[in-house]
């Protein structure tokens, strides 16, 4: 564990093999046992460990064009050049103001989409009942939470959620559309409401 904190996990495995004769199977077995013993002996700490991995980064996965530009710059030049970062403006790079504003806007939109996915999906199931759309939405919702929860139980990085992010975006946008349609729907008149009641009876 100490080796992992200092970023030399590979050296630790080399030492275990050289000094103790452990192979990959033995190391995997010992790590698994240590993890299970941690849950047995320190369940409260392990639960807090799961929530420690859940961060605001998950809120910003839906729409991230500025982050994508940063990644491309980083991979190609070795630096993100503080593209769209507030610190760039604070350091006097006034040309970065439009990118910073754009970043705020897309982060806000991303948070709205993710919260619509996370919160509105079960609400729609309760209000609309089980149909094809709510069934698919709930399936993707459960899939997202399961994948995220399993990774968070050990270690969660935003890139690990790549298989489930696309579905969460689609469901989040659909939920936003359904909420807008719900509130934009004209209210029923008294006569129409009575007609609905008569039809139901």
Using one digit for the tens of pLDDT, what is the confidence trace for 1-15? 444 454 445 677 787
Of 112, 128, 87, 125, the C-alpha closest to 168 is: 112
Count of domains for the chain? 2
Looking at the structure, tell me whether residues 52 and 3 fall in a common domain. Answer: no
Could you report the per-residue pLDDT of 183-201, keeping only the tens digit for each?
887 765 554 555 544 455 5
Predicted pLDDT at 53:
66
Q: Is residue 201 part of a domain?
A: no
- Averaged confidence pLDDT in the chain: 80
Looking at the structure, tell me whether residues 105 and 122 fall in a common domain. Answer: yes
Looking at the structure, tell me whether residues 108 and 94 fall in a common domain. Answer: yes
Q: Is residue 198 part of a domain?
A: no
Mean pLDDT, to the nearest integer, of 78-104?
82
Asked if 96 and 73 count as a contact pair (C-beta separation under 8 A), the reply is no
Q: Is residue 6 part of a domain?
A: yes
Of 78, 57, 70, the C-alpha closest to 160 is: 57
Looking at the structure, tell me whether residues 153 and 134 fall in a common domain. Answer: yes
Domain with 15, as residue range(s), is: 1-41
pLDDT grade for 77, boundaries at 50, 70 and 90: confident
Looking at the structure, tell me whether residues 34 and 59 fall in a common domain. Answer: no
| 3-class DSSP state of 91 | coil
Q: Is residue 173 part of a domain?
A: yes
Say which DSSP state 42 is in: -
- The number of CA neighbours under 13 Å toward the Cβ of 103 is 18
């Amino acid at each position: 564990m100490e080796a992992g904190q200092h970023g030399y996990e590979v050296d630790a495995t080399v030492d275990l093999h050289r000094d103790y004769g452990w192979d990959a199977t033995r190391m995997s077995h010992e790590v698994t046992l240590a993890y299970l013993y941690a849950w047995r002996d320190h369940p409260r700490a392990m639960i807090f460990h799961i929530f420690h991995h859940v961060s605001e980064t998950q809120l910003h996965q839906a729409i991230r064009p500025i982050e994508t530009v940063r990644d491309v710059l980083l991979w190609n030049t070795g630096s993100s050049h503080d593209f769209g970062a507030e610190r760039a403006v604070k350091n006097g790079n006034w040309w970065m103001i439009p990118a910073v504003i754009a970043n705020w806007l897309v982060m806000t939109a991303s948070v709205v989409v993710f919260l619509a996915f996370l919160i509105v999906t079960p609400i729609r199931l309760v209000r609309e009942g089980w149909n094809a759309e709510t069934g698919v939405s709930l399936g993707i919702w459960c899939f997202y939470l399961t994948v995220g929860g399993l990774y968070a139980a050990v270690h969660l990085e935003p890139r690990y959620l790549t298989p489930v992010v696309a579905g969460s975006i689609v469901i989040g946008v659909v939920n936003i559309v359904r909420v807008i349609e719900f509130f934009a729907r004209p209210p029923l008149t008294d006569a129409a409401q009575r007609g609905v009641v008569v039809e139901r009876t």
